[in-house]
């Protein structure tokens, strides 16, 4: 039975011709439009959809004839004071309750029995508004100012409520569980674009629609397009005669999700089979190997695949599964009959000419204006064949190419652009990927020497291997490089591996270190490679991080069987586990460390290392390695890198560098402490900290025990918070006195600034604003991977911001390392001219992060209202000069009482309001000519330019100008208006309407200064220009917001 309910509508007419409809009794629901019928239809659909099961509650909202009244309202909050009329509506419900609402403010209240409308507004509404944000209140006041007229309209709502009997039957009826909706998703036509799959899609359709239909197993390498094949069939089902067939997709993990009890996943699978047979669907189950494993537990060897096999064999369940060819053997070992249940369809990698045609179609679809040469396609394919071996063509390569076409189409036109973007996405060093980017051996040498001391010959060998790799002169199918670092303990072998990771990948996190002494038993190979459902440690690490530095520490201590694995890695750069999972080492730098021959190469005395000694050491260590390693392993290592013992001079240099690192450490910088030491302290540390057996490790241990612990005790026990500390020849600390001007190297101040900047960059990366950027970019890349597009223009530059922030942090760290090296070698140190560009980059990135949180960071409207035309003129001129200083463009408008003599059609203002005799005067250049008259009561700026919205965001408020003759005030309103259409609030053309609350800024004109009451700061312009003080204040105000963002 239909139920007709009349719902009164409060209709507000705006000056711009639009109207807003508010259904009374339902706050939060409204419609804006120019057509009343369209508004009512939209409201009717929304109310019926939301409230069709709540007829009784709707009856309570059936209103008596609502009454509209313009109630005087006084506001004094957020430094704003207003007195104006607001439209309020009062009605009675069927239960006798009295209600009142101001729909434009989204406010509704239930009246007391003896309370009238005026009392409710004065009692409830001020507290409600005071709880809102200032910018929200400003927008509401403007919204009220736009309303010209209010009336009541009636919306007849037709509902079909359920009877109590129907509801009772529905509640008692057993709940029908839609298994497909629980654990699967419908594959529909999403207008994705697939290329080169027409023939295989037809073969798949023929098998699924055959007589009888059979389930299909798609066999092929990862990335060849198996999943895309199913999606292409679902999207074009009508072409292959399957238009009436629903296509669904799930996986083994989704089927068992939430099924924790015994037999629960089996019940779900049975329900899935019955529903699939009833609805005659085709189900994509994903990886067959996963289906074999999922569902197993101790005492239960049967997985989902074996459970579903009888239903698939009988044809009761029509499915499509996937697997790789190397996985078939493992599947058959577990269930010999499973593979034969399917019709096998092999999906091979397309021929090169077909792949080029696929790329050409992608260009026509995503960037039709581009004309690319075939060589650009080949560049993308070569990069992925060389550096992305886990994925067959064209899957990953095509996704990478499409992302470039969508985000950086210009970069696709050159090999360097493609290679640079590939290096950026994979994290590979750009000099290895981009052909045109050189590898400077001198810069590389300086980088390594800053970390590895007194091993020049070893560093040269490492750089030689890097140069060979850059020139592509190494054999294909091998790791990027394989080095054996050999020598005594404590001479820098592990530090060299860390430095190589920083040089290649900008981080030590890319260093995968395995202590081979832990793999000396017979079970070592199993733990490294894995098997029987257990993933090996080495296989897992390399598959998770294919671009890395792999360090096998003390590799000679591993079990002999491990050397067979090492031979396979060095020879073919490939390793497979028992399940057929492949690990590729072609993108790894393989480093091995060893102490072989260190005991026989005795250099117990501290003597200079000569070139003859270096040659002897290399010969000695090479002979020792040949005695231990099999020839086939020895011949596959790119270079034997000997590390020599440290002599007296090098030990003292190392001691000096250790003390210098302490002097520039962050804890001392934060305490405002300086340290200095006598030359005897370096010599004492070198003597006591050197051991022929343990090398520099003994120096580090001595430094910690005698120097570090003593310094910590002095800092903790002393009451001083800053000063100069002296280390004497006995390695004892003492205070020199209060902080004086200690002798520090030139450039130390710049280095401290650089360290502070580096800490700020890290703080930026940890800030909420930066995390929001990372989250948005993650969601955007997920959309791109799913074939969707990014429509929001704010999202497109996010990736560039994240990349530039990472690059800035890397540059700061690199400059710190360069300074330390220059200091040790007595060269020129870092100066302000090198730090200032980094600071400018940091400020720009911080502004971009802050701007991301604003809807209009580069466009804003600033309005000025005052009863004093000369004051308006002065403020307009000031802000015009501010805009000129920052390089913003402006659109300036004056508000005057009377008709604009320059406006050809004064009727425009009649549509604004008929009882306010005001007009607008456009001013092209307020600095050159500003036609202020006695009838001018306001002005409006529309600013557009770099970060103008951020600079002016907090300018709203009352400005009080104090002179000896008296005081004047002006109201400034800031709105986030991208169109620049400011409308003066109601009554501002009359005197007495400027708020009289606490001013946000006081200008003392005789003293030529002003005070900001928001933060208590003051500024004085003396003999200078007033607008420059305003510029300085805006910059410092924005700086405080940026600092707050970092906290």
Give pLDDT, residue 863: 92
Q: What burial letters (b/e) apply to 6-45, b meaning 16+ CB within 10 Å?
A: ebbbbbbebbeeebbbbbbbbeeebbeeeeeeebbeebbe
DSSP calls for 588-642: EEEEEEE-TTTTTS---S--PPPHHHHHHHHHHHHHHHHHHS-HHHHTT-SEEEE
Instruction: Please tell me which residue, 345 or 458, carries the higher pLDDT value.
Output: 345
Give 746's pLDDT tier (boundaries 50, 70, 90): very low
Q: What percent of the chain has pLDDT over 70?
A: 85
Give pLDDT, residue 739: 40
| DSSP 8-class letter at 691 | B
Nearest to 778 by CA among 799, 800, 748: 799
d(CA 457, CA 1022): 65
d(CA 377, CA 372): 8
Mean per-residue pLDDT for 103-131?
A: 74
Alpha helices (H) in 251-296, listed in sequence order: 252-256, 264-279, 288-293
Lowest mean pLDDT among 97-101, 864-868, 927-931: 97-101
How do residues 196-247 score in pLDDT, each as one tens digit? 778 888 999 999 988 889 999 999 888 888 888 898 888 888 888 888 889 9
CB 432 within 8 A of CB 473: no
**Tokens representing residue 616 in the block:** 């002897």
Mean per-residue pLDDT for 263-269?
A: 87
pLDDT > 70? residue 117: no
Q: Which CATH superfamily is domain 441-642 in?
A: P-loop containing nucleotide triphosphate hydrolases (3.40.50.300)
pLDDT > 80? residue 868: yes
Give pLDDT, residue 214: 92
Strand residue runs (E) in 857-963: 859-866, 889-897, 918-923, 936-944, 957-963
Q: What 3-state DSSP class applies to 871?
A: helix
88 membership: H or E segment, kind and range? strand 80-92
Give pLDDT, residue 172: 63
Give pLDDT, residue 581: 74
pLDDT > 90? residue 419: no
Lowest mean pLDDT among 13-27, 120-134, 404-418, 425-439: 120-134
d(CA 136, CA 130): 10
d(CA 36, CA 20): 9
Phi/psi class of residue 241: alpha, beta or left (left: φ > 0; alpha: ψ in -120 to 50)?
Answer: left
Q: Which residues contact 54 (CB under 8 A, 6 or more apart)?
A: none
d(CA 1011, CA 1009): 7
Q: What burial letters (b/e) apply to 569-603, b meaning 16+ CB within 10 Å?
A: bbeebebebbbebbbbbbbbbbbbbbebbbeebeb
Q: Which residues contact 785 (CB under 8 A, 6 or more apart)?
A: 399
Give pLDDT, residue 263: 81
How do residues 633-655 score in pLDDT, each as one tens digit? 888 888 888 887 777 777 777 78
Give 741's pLDDT tier (boundaries 50, 70, 90): very low
5 membership: H or E segment, kind and range? strand 3-14
Q: Whole-angstrom distance between the N-terminal and C-terminal Cα of the chain? A: 61
How do residues 478-534 score in pLDDT, each as one tens digit? 888 888 888 887 788 888 888 888 888 888 888 889 988 888 887 888 888 876 567
How do residues 912-924 score in pLDDT, each as one tens digit? 444 557 788 889 8
Strand residue runs (E) in 638-694: 639-642, 673-677
- CB neighbour class for 225 (10 Å; exposed up to 12, middle 13-18, buried from 19): buried
pLDDT > 90? residue 736: no
CB 160 within 8 A of CB 1: yes
pLDDT > 80? residue 542: yes
Architecture field, domain 179-346: 3-Layer(aba) Sandwich (3.40)
CATH class of 648-737: mainly alpha
pLDDT > 60? residue 63: no
Instruction: Please tell me which residue, 615 or 349, carries the higher pLDDT value.
Output: 349
CB 21 within 8 A of CB 9: yes
The winner for highest mean pLDDT among 47-56, 561-570, 664-673, 809-818 is: 561-570
d(CA 286, CA 307): 16
How do residues 23-48 score in pLDDT, each as one tens digit? 887 777 888 888 888 888 888 888 87
**Tokens representing residue 413 in the block:** 């036109």
Examine domains 648-737 and 859-1046 and report if their fold is the same.
no
Mean per-residue pLDDT for 541-549?
A: 84
Give pLDDT, residue 934: 84
Q: Which residues contact 631 (CB under 8 A, 6 or more apart)?
A: none
Give 881's pLDDT tier (boundaries 50, 70, 90): very high
The pair phi, psi for residue 205, each rounded to 5°, is: -65, -40
Quote the pTM value: 0.50
Domain ranges of the chain: 3-164, 179-346, 352-433, 441-642, 648-737, 748-852, 859-1046
pLDDT > 80? residue 706: no
How do residues 887-911 score in pLDDT, each as one tens digit? 999 999 888 887 655 544 444 343 3
Nearest to 312 by CA among 340, 293, 292: 340
CB 642 within 8 A of CB 450: no
CATH class of 859-1046: alpha beta
Nearest to 44 by CA among 131, 123, 153: 153
Pairing of strands 582-584, 574-576: antiparallel
How do residues 323-373 score in pLDDT, each as one tens digit? 988 888 888 888 888 999 999 999 888 888 888 888 888 888 778 887 888
Give pLDDT, residue 80: 64
Mean per-residue pLDDT for 808-837?
A: 71
Distance from the Cα of residue 80 to its chain's centroid:
39
How do residues 422-447 score in pLDDT, each as one tens digit? 888 877 888 888 888 888 888 888 88
d(CA 178, CA 157): 33
Mean per-residue pLDDT for 735-759?
A: 61
CB 309 within 8 A of CB 292: no
Instruction: Please tell me which residue, 284 or 906, carries the higher pLDDT value.
Output: 284
How much is the mean pLDDT over the chain?
80
Q: What 3-state DSSP class applies to 491?
A: coil
């Amino acid at each position: 039975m239909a139920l007709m309910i009349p719902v009164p509508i409060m209709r507000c007419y705006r000056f711009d011709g639009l109207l807003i409809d508010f259904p009374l009794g339902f706050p939060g629901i409204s419609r804006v439009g120019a057509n009343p019928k369209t508004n009512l239809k939209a409201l009717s659909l929304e109310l019926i959809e939301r409230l069709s099961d709540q007829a009784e509650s709707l009856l309570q909202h059936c209103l008596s004839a609502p009454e509209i009244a313009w109630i005087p309202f006084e506001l004094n909050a957020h430094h704003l004071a207003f007195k104006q009329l607001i439209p309020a509506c009062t009605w009675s419900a069927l239960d006798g309750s009295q209600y009142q609402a101001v729909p434009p403010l989204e406010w509704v209240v239930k009246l007391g029995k003896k309370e009238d409308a005026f009392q409710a507004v004065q009692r409830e509404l001020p507290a409600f508004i005071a709880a809102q944000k200032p910018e929200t209140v400003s927008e509401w006041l403007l919204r009220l100012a736009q309303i010209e007229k209010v009336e009541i309209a009636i919306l007849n709502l037709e509902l079909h409520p359920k009877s109590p009997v129907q509801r009772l039957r529905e509640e008692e009826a057993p709940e029908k569980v839609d298994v497909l909706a629980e654990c699967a998703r419908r594959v529909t036509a999403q207008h994705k674009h697939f290329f080169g799959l027409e023939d295989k899609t037809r073969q798949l359709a023929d098998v699924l629609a055959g007589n009888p239909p059979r389930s299909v197993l798609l066999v092929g390498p990862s990335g060849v397009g198996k999943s895309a094949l199913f999606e292409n069939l679902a999207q074009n089902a009508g072409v292959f005669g399957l238009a009436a067939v629903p296509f669904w997709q799930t996986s083994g993990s989704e089927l068992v999700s939430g099924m924790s009890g015994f037999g629960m996943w089996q019940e779900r699978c049975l329900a899935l089979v019955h529903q699939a047979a009833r609805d005659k669907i085709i189900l994509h189950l994903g990886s067959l190997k996963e289906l074999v494993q999922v569902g197993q537990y101790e005492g239960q060897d049967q997985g989902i695949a074996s459970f579903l096999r009888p239903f698939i064999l009988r044809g009761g369940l029509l499915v499509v599964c996937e697997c790789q060819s190397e996985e078939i053997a493992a599947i058959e070992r577990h269930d010999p009959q499973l593979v034969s249940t399917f019709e096998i369809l092999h999906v091979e990698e397309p021929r090169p000419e077909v792949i080029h045609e696929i790329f050409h179609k992608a260009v026509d679809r995503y960037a039709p204006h581009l004309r690319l040469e075939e060589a650009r396609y080949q560049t993308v394919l070569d990069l992925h064949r060389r550096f992305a071996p886990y994925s067959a063509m064209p899957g990953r390569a095509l996704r990478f190419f499409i992302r470039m076409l969508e985000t950086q189409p210009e970069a696709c036109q050159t090999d360097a652009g493609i290679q640079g973007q590939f290096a950026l996405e994979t994290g590979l060093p750009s000099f290895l990927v981009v052909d045109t980017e050189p590898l400077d051996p001198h810069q590389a040498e300086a980088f390594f020497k800053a970390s590895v001391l007194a091993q020049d010959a070893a560093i040269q060998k490492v750089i030689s291997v890097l140069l060979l790799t850059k020139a592509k002169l190494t054999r294909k199918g091998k790791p990027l490089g394989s080095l054996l670092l050999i020598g005594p303990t404590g001479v820098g072998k592990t530090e060299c591996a860390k430095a190589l990771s920083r040089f290649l990948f900008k981080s030590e996190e890319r260093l995968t270190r395995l202590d081979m002494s832990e793999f000396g038993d017979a079970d070592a190979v199993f733990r490294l490679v894995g098997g029987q459902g257990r993933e090996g440690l080495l296989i897992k690490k390399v598959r998770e991080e294919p671009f890395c530095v792999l360090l096998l520490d003390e590799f000679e201590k591993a079990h002999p069987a491990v050397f067979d694995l090492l031979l396979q890695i060095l020879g073919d750069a490939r390793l497979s586990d028992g399940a057929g999972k492949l690990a590729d080492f072609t993108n790894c730098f393989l480093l091995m460390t060893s102490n072989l021959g260190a005991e026989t190469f005795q250099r117990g005395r501290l003597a200079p290392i000569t070139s003859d000694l270096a040659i002897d050491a290399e010969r000695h260590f090479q002979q020792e390695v040949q005695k231990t390693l099999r020839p086939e392993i020895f011949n596959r290592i790119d270079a034997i890198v000997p590390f020599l013992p440290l002599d007296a001079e090098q030990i003292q240099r190392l001691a000096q560098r250790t003390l210098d690192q302490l002097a520039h450490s962050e804890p001392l910088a934060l305490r405002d402490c300086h340290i200095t030491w006598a030359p005897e302290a370096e010599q004492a540390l070198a003597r006591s900290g050197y051991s022929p057996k343990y090398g520099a490790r003994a120096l580090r241990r001595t430094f910690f025990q005698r120097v570090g612990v003593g310094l910590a005790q002095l800092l903790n026990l002393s009451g001083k918070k800053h000063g100069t500390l002296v280390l004497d020849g006995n390695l004892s600390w003492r205070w020199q006195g209060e902080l004086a001007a200690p002798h520090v190297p030139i450039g130390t101040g710049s280095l401290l600034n650089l360290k502070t900047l580096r800490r700020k960059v890290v703080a930026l990366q940890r800030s909420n604003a930066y995390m929001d950027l990372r989250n948005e970019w993650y969601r955007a890349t997920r959309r791109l991977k799913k074939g969707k597009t990014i429509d929001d223009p704010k999202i497109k530059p996010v990736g560039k911001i994240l990349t530039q922030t990472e690059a800035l942090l890397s540059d700061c760290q690199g400059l710190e390392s360069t300074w330390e090296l220059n200091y040790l070698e007595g060269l020129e140190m870092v100066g302000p001219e090198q730090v200032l560009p980094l600071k400018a980059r940091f400020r720009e990135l911080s502004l971009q992060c802050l701007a991301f949180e604003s809807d209009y960071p580069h466009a804003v409207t600033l309005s000025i209202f005052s009863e004093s035309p000369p004051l308006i003129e002065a403020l307009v001129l000031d802000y015009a000069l501010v805009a000129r200083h920052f390089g913003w463009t402006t659109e300036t408008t004056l508000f005057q009482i009377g008709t604009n003599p320059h406006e050809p059609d004064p009727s425009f203002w009649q549509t604004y309001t008929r009882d306010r005799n005001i007009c607008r005067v456009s001013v092209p250049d307020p600095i050159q000519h500003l036609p202020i008259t006695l009838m001018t009561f306001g002005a409006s700026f529309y600013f557009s330019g770099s970060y103008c919205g951020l600079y002016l965001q907090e300018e709203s408020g009352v400005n009080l100008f104090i002179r000896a003759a008296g005081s004047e005030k002006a109201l400034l309103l800031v709105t986030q208006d991208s169109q620049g259409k400011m409308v003066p609030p109601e009554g501002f053309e009359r005197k007495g309407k400027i708020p009289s609350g606490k001013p946000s800024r006081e200008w003392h004109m005789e003293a030529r200064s002003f005070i900001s009451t928001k933060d208590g700061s003051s500024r004085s312009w003396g003999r200078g220009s007033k607008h420059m003080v305003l510029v300085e204040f805006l910059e410092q105000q924005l700086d405080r917001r940026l600092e707050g963002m970092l906290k």
